Amino acid sequence: MIVLHHLDNSRSQRVLWLLEELELPYRIERYARDPKTRFAPPALARIHPLGKAPALEIDGAVLVESGAIVEYLVERTGGRFGPPDDRALALAYRMFLHYAEGSVMPPLLVKLVLAQVPVLGRVAIRRIQPMIDVHLDFIESHLARQAWFAGDAITAADVMMSFPIEVARDRGGLDSRRPHMLAWLEKVQARPAYRRALDAGGPYAYTRT
């Protein structure tokens, strides 16, 4: 049995979504953030030393890192939601699978931290936002050419990209100026498996549906 250790309003929501898409049996252990610090609770550190979510328990082992978990689940189901056969699309799949956390999330996270710093934080954000805009423009141009991140069918690359795009709409400047991103997000959040994941995971701040 797969056990997903899930933290509210976190990256683990997309793992929960993928579990629902793949129709894998799983059990969910839910954790709430500290209402003052917004940090993960100490209980998560008893699951893995990093004390972060998502953490996936499989046969006594614990796997962390969203990308690694997503790749494992794709492999476990024989390649469902995996890369397309087309070589160019498969390369796009691989790139976006890692781009989500390696490139686009860091400036979004920096902006979140700076927003908590009075005065000086607001000044610094003016320098961070152009960095975020470069990513938003890149993603918008990519989705203007194709329906999903790796072609005409949804893949795990879309699952990985869901969290940064949701965060970008919430606090990263994503708005009607980038209609293809918003249309993609609306399509994602309307999927039945996504809706089931919301029911299973509890309140999630990054959806408006």
Spans of the chain below 50 pLDDT: none
Instruction: Report pTM.
Output: 0.95
- Tell me the per-residue pLDDT of 114-128, one tens digit each, with 9 for 90 and over: 877 776 677 778 889
Instruction: Give the Cα separation of 28 and 195 in Å (integer).
Output: 16
Full set of structural domains in the chain with CATH:
2-81+193-201 (3.40.30.10), 87-191 (1.20.1050.10)
- Preceding peptide of 54 cis, ω within 30°: yes
Say what the pLDDT of residue 126 is.
Answer: 85
Say what the pLDDT of residue 60 is.
Answer: 87
On whether the CB atoms of residues 6 and 12 are closer than 8 A, the answer is: yes
Instruction: Give the Cα separation of 70 and 16 in Å (integer).
Output: 10
- Residue 96 φ/ψ, nearest 5 degrees: -70, -30
Instruction: Give the Cα separation of 56 and 69 in Å (integer).
Output: 7
On whether the CB atoms of residues 81 and 153 are closer than 8 A, the answer is: no
